[in-house]
Amino acid sequence: MSGISYAQDAKADSAYVREHYEKTEQLIPMRDGTKLFTAIYTPKDQTKKYPVLLNRTPYTVAPYGANEYKKSLGNFPAEMREGFIFVYQDVRGKWMSEGEFEDVRPVNKTKNKKAIDESTDTYDTLEWLAKNMKNYNQKAGIYGISYPGFYSTMSLVNSHPTLKAVSPQAPVTNWFLGDDFHHNGVLFLNDSFKFMSSFGVKRPQPITPDKGPKSLEYPIKDNYRFYLEGGSVKELKDKYFQDNIKFYNDLFAHPDYDQFWQDRNPLPHLTNVKPAVMTVGGFFDAEDVYGAFETYKAIEKQNPNATNILVAGPWFHGGWVRSKADTFGDMQFGTPTGEYYQQQIELPFFNYYLKDKGNFKPTEAQIFITGSNEWKQFDNWPPKNVTTQKMYLQANGKISFQQTNNASFDEYVADPNNPVPYQGGVLESRPREYMVDDQRFASTRPDVMVYQTDILTEDMTITGPIINHLFVSSTGTDADYVVKLIDVFPEDTPKYNGKLMAGYQNLIRAEIMRGKYRNSFEKPEAMVPNQKTNVTYSMPDVGHTFKKGHRIMIQVQNTWFPLADRNPQQFMNVYETTAKDFLKQTQRIYHDSYIEIPVLK
């Protein structure tokens, strides 16, 4: 669609909001007396009753003012035109709401009736709406992407009786094991530093966005150079944040998976779930791919009789409602997967549970499989009709589906002062397309080990999590391990947008693991120099078909910069390191290492 068409559509949507909705603003009181700023858009048509769609956000409900209207309502225009009471709320301590903000606020465990958490704030908001809204049918739904996805998840804890349908989408879930801040204990430096430079600034009083903090302006525009020349994360913090960013202070104070982080994991609290739940995620979400799958799985395990649905597609962060999603990066899907999701899944979901409209009977999991480019329905996720296959990393860059040699290994030097970049070229900021980008820039480096299968003689579809079983050694006492699962295109693949696609190395999934957490995230253990050890960890779920004529490639490396912070390759607190602590070490990948993949039958 052209830019002109998008502009025309946006103008039409903006006019529609004013013509069909009445806006009011409320300060809704919580049980402890704190008032939360809430913008309510009610349909002007008073001939029938409407359900509520609530979105709680730390990113502002702007524009403010009774005569200032949003340009569109809901997750996408068709939702707005369907007709709901759209309610937007600044969460506690953000923008125009009162109170103190706390990142991923823990569930309250006390019996104090005035004690609060995000679930009580949601409950109190829905209670106020139930008592004060006209033309309200007393059925509420909640949705949100990313951080608002976390608030959607939290609404399921001791949920309000009117809450009938909840859709956590790319929900922030665990900021130590996955999502945004850490992956398996490794700080995601680039995203966390940029984000907290503005989001983490303390707000002295309620403010509007025009008076809010601005994001860090990089003095060096080359993203890689800025972080490399900045030194350790401690040196970066001391220079740019000092002690002014509370959450970064907390992060430094809790380097391991201690009670601080465990308390901020909502998953154990997702019991006795009563509303229908539809968790949505993107396989290529650079921020929160972990949260969607783990939220769905936790609800399924702890609530076997709940209505619990998973939707996953070939999407970037929020791509299911922020784009047509017929392409991403150099990947082509052959169909507008975003439009399909909006029209065939989300709108029918809320219509059915909030309006008793339609006949919404989806399967347990609706998954778009890339490669073969098709929607598939599954009764379970991960699917049960899979065979587990092991891909052994062999000598001479080979992958074998049979173990052949335990003693041999590949040896190379990893230097954190010359780290492997996460994407080729000079970048000013982290692009979302790195999740699917061509990996040929990395495969030629001497500190990236490359293994690949023979040419596939038939299609192979992988559905579910990947488990990496690495057998490694290092001359140091700690190291990070990055495993990348890659689809290698045939040599006769035609160009795409003028780009050479012959031999293209299409990243499908990648993940990092810190060696000292190989046995426990709570109690790190040093690696013994030159002693072979096992590092096993899971990668987030995959739904992809490796087509006949392609190859499967695995790359293994020790740095992924500046996406992930560097490991000094010494057993120490990373948050106490300085630039001088980053040491070269010799690494070995042994050939009994294997990648465990779930192959769809």
pLDDT per residue as tens digits for the range 432-477: 999 999 999 999 999 999 999 999 999 999 999 999 999 999 999 9
Question: 309 to each of 54, 151, 258, 270, how far by Cα in Å?
Answer: 19, 18, 31, 15
pLDDT per residue as tens digits for the range 127-157: 999 999 999 999 999 999 999 999 999 999 9
Domain count, the chain: 2
**pLDDT surpasses 60 at 4:** no
DSSP tally for the chain: helices H, then strands E? 14, 25
Contact 570, 476 (CB under 8 A): yes
From the CB of residue 131, how many other CB atoms can be counted at a distance below 10 Å? 8
Who contacts 536 (Cβ-Cβ below 8 Å, separation ≥6)?
467, 468, 469, 470, 518
Q: What are phi and psi of 383, to 5 degrees?
A: -60, 150
Which residues on adjacent β-strands are paired with residue 596? Answer: 390, 467
pTM: predicted TM-score of the whole model, two decimal places: 0.96
pLDDT per residue as tens digits for the range 85-132: 999 999 999 999 999 999 999 999 898 999 999 999 999 999 999 999
Which residues on adjacent β-strands are paired with residue 276? Answer: 165
Same domain, 278 and 406: no
Q: Give the containing element (helix H, strand E) for 327.
A: strand 327-328
As a whole number of angstroms, the distance between CA 316 and CA 292 comes to 13
The domain that contains 444 carries what CATH number?
A: 2.60.120.260
Assigned domain for 259 exists: no
Task: Select the more confidently predicted residue: 247 or 404.
Answer: 247
Which residues on adjacent β-strands are paired with residue 594? Answer: 392, 469
Mean pLDDT to the nearest integer, 54-81 = 97
Q: Give the containing element (helix H, strand E) for 505.
A: strand 505-514
* Percentage above 90 pLDDT, the chain: 95
Same domain, 396 and 354: no
Same domain, 108 and 139: yes
Q: What six digits make up the tokens of 144?
A: 């949100």
Q: Which of 316, 346, 378 is the last residue of a domain?
A: 378
As a whole number of angstroms, the distance between CA 378 and CA 59 comes to 35
For residue 497, the one-letter residue type is: N
Same domain, 142 and 168: yes
pLDDT per residue as tens digits for the range 224-238: 999 999 999 999 999
Assigned domain for 51 exists: yes
**pLDDT surpasses 50 at 1:** no
Three-class SS state of 37: strand
Who contacts 304 (Cβ-Cβ below 8 Å, separation ≥6)?
none
Same domain, 273 and 413: no
**pLDDT surpasses 90 at 296:** yes
Assigned domain for 10 exists: yes
Q: What six digits make up the tokens of 389?
A: 């296959």
**Secondary structure string (H, E, C) spanning 99-164:** CCCCCCCCCCCCCCCCCCCHHHHHHHHHHHHHHHCCCEEEEEEEEEECHHHHHHHHCCCCCCCCEE
Same domain, 138 and 16: yes
Three-class SS state of 517: helix
pLDDT per residue as tens digits for the range 329-382: 999 999 999 999 999 999 999 999 999 999 999 999 999 999 999 999 999 999
Same domain, 15 and 154: yes
**pLDDT surpasses 80 at 543:** yes
Pairing type for strands 374-378 and 505-514 reads unpaired
Same domain, 362 and 407: no
Assigned domain for 517 exists: yes
pLDDT at residue number 403 = 86
User: Token match 């007393």: residue?
Assistant: 138
Question: 215 to each of 4, 103, 145, 195, how far by Cα in Å?
Answer: 30, 18, 21, 7
pLDDT per residue as tens digits for the range 245-294: 999 999 999 999 999 999 999 999 999 999 999 999 999 999 999 999 99
Pairing type for strands 365-369 and 374-378 reads antiparallel
Same domain, 307 and 400: no
As a whole number of angstroms, the distance between CA 214 and CA 212 comes to 7
As a whole number of angstroms, the distance between CA 261 and CA 255 comes to 10
Same domain, 447 and 578: yes
Q: Which of 322, 353, 378 is the last residue of a domain?
A: 378
**Secondary structure string (H, E, C) spanning 536-598:** EEEEEEEEEEECCCCEEEEEEECCCECCCCCCCCCCCCHHHCCHHHCCCEEEEEECCCEEEEE
Assigned domain for 60 exists: yes
Contact 332, 320 (CB under 8 A): no
- Chain mean pLDDT for the chain: 96
Three-class SS state of 237: helix
Contact 326, 316 (CB under 8 A): no
Rg (CA), the chain: 24
From the CB of residue 397, how many other CB atoms can be counted at a distance below 10 Å? 14
Same domain, 150 and 285: yes
For residue 102, the one-letter residue type is: E
As a whole number of angstroms, the distance between CA 377 and CA 312 comes to 11
As a whole number of angstroms, the distance between CA 147 and CA 144 comes to 7
pLDDT at residue number 5 = 54
Q: Which of 378, 413, 434 is the last residue of a domain?
A: 378
Mean pLDDT to the nearest integer, 159-171 = 98
As a whole number of angstroms, the distance between CA 346 and CA 362 comes to 11
* Percentage above 70 pLDDT, the chain: 99
pLDDT at residue number 2 = 45
Comparing CA positions, the residue from 380, 406, 378 lying closest to residue 392 is 406
Assigned domain for 211 exists: no
pLDDT per residue as tens digits for the range 197-210: 999 999 989 999 99
Same domain, 141 and 109: yes
Instruction: Note down the domain range covering 518.
Output: 386-600
Mean pLDDT to the nearest integer, 37-58 = 97
